Amino acid sequence: MYIKTMAEYAANGETPEVLFWVGCAGSFDQRAQKITKAFATILDKVGVQFAILGKEESCTGDPARRAGNEFIFQMMAQNNIQLLNMYGVKKIVTACPHCFNTLKNEYPDLGGNYEVIHHTTFLQSLIDEGKIKLQGGGTFKGKKITYHDSCYLGRANDIYEAPRKVLEILDAELIEMKRCRSKGLCCGAGGAQMFKEEEKGTIRINADRGKEAVDTGATVIASNCPFCMTMLTDGVKESGKEDDVKVLDIAEMIAQSMA
């Protein structure tokens, strides 16, 4: 497998079908890199022609904007839009709900209009088209899985069913937490909280959520966001269950189960 950049495509006078927007977490965070690799592997296996921006990609500006720094957001956004428009990008897929939300909802006001798809929705359409086939039984067959709704995919953009549909083909037992879908509990990282200490309270948000997930008795917590991944992994550790309960991104679960 060879992952091409937009620049390489452009040099050959070609445009790929879809741009894979990796995001900062997916690029630099060691754990999230595994999600990035898993998703790229799936795209490659099913024959989706895709490119990344590589070194040309920048932060979408999401954490800066939500922390209140509109200047930095605008600088990132306008630079990114210039680049995307220069390459004539039409369709973007990303494994980060924060990038997804910003690219989809906030870039149009600044002149960036693209079809933006979160990777779980993209995976669902690949499944619907029959392009993703699982190996006999699948790695997760019969296992208990609980799914954590990320705020930026769920409440922010009303996407609740696509990730669950993807999990269905794994033939696992999906157990819902009490706080799920539009009542889901945040992992604690959104709104730039990822980048600072939590304010003083009685318990950390990720510890509360981690415990709730562990208490379902599931052995796998499925997530769709690199930030939720970090927070939930820490949360599970805090409840002392890191040996029994794994936090996995939906893309990783599909990649592991594919034929």
Considering only residues 192-231, where is the footprint of other proteins by CB under 8 A?
Answer: 192-205, 208
Contact (CB, 8 A) for 98 and 29: no
Asked if 40 is part of the footprint of other proteins (rule: CB under 8 A), the reply reads: yes
- Number of neighbours of residue 178 by Cβ within 10 angstroms: 9
CB of 187 to other proteins, least distance (A): 8
Asked if 191 is part of the footprint of other proteins (rule: CB under 8 A), the reply reads: yes
* Count of residues engaged in binding other proteins, rule: CB under 8 A: 73
Beta carbon nearer to other proteins, 197 or 243 = 197
What sign does the CA torsion over 194, 196, 197, 199 have? Answer: negative
Beta carbon nearer to other proteins, 105 or 135 = 105
Q: Which residue has the tokens 């208990």?
A: 144
The structure tokens listed for 6 are 């937009």
Asked if 112 is part of the footprint of other proteins (rule: CB under 8 A), the reply reads: no
What φ, ψ does residue 97 adopt, rounded to 5°?
-65, -25
Asked if 12 is part of the footprint of other proteins (rule: CB under 8 A), the reply reads: no
x/- contact string, 45-64, with other proteins (CB under 8 A)? -------x-xx-xxx-x-xx
Those residues whose C-beta lies under 8 Å from the C-beta of residue 86, and which sit 6 or more positions away, are none
Asked if 79 is part of the footprint of other proteins (rule: CB under 8 A), the reply reads: yes
Asked if 178 is part of the footprint of other proteins (rule: CB under 8 A), the reply reads: no
Q: Tell me 148's DSSP state.
A: P
Query: If phi over 0 gives left and psi between -120 and 50 gives alpha, with beta otherwise, what is residue 61?
Result: left
Beta carbon nearer to other proteins, 65 or 164 = 65
Binding test (CB under 8 A) with other proteins, winner from 15, 74, 216, 219: 74
CB of 12 to other proteins, least distance (A): 17
Separation CA 164–CA 69 (nearest Å) = 35
How big is the CA angle at 24 (ends 30 and 35), to the nearest 5 degrees?
45
Asked if 11 is part of the footprint of other proteins (rule: CB under 8 A), the reply reads: no
Q: How far, in Å, are 64, 65, 98 from residue 191 at the CA level?
A: 9, 9, 10
Asked if 125 is part of the footprint of other proteins (rule: CB under 8 A), the reply reads: no
Asked if 33 is part of the footprint of other proteins (rule: CB under 8 A), the reply reads: yes
x/- contact string, 151-170, with other proteins (CB under 8 A)? xx--xxxx------------
Asked if 256 is part of the footprint of other proteins (rule: CB under 8 A), the reply reads: no
Interacting span for other proteins (CB under 8 A) from 11-19, 70-78, 85-93, 241-249: 70-78
Asked if 75 is part of the footprint of other proteins (rule: CB under 8 A), the reply reads: yes
> Would you call 45 helix, strand, or coil by DSSP?
helix
Beta carbon nearer to other proteins, 128 or 198 = 198
Runs of H (alpha helix) within 129-188: 161-168
Separation CA 146–CA 151 (nearest Å) = 16
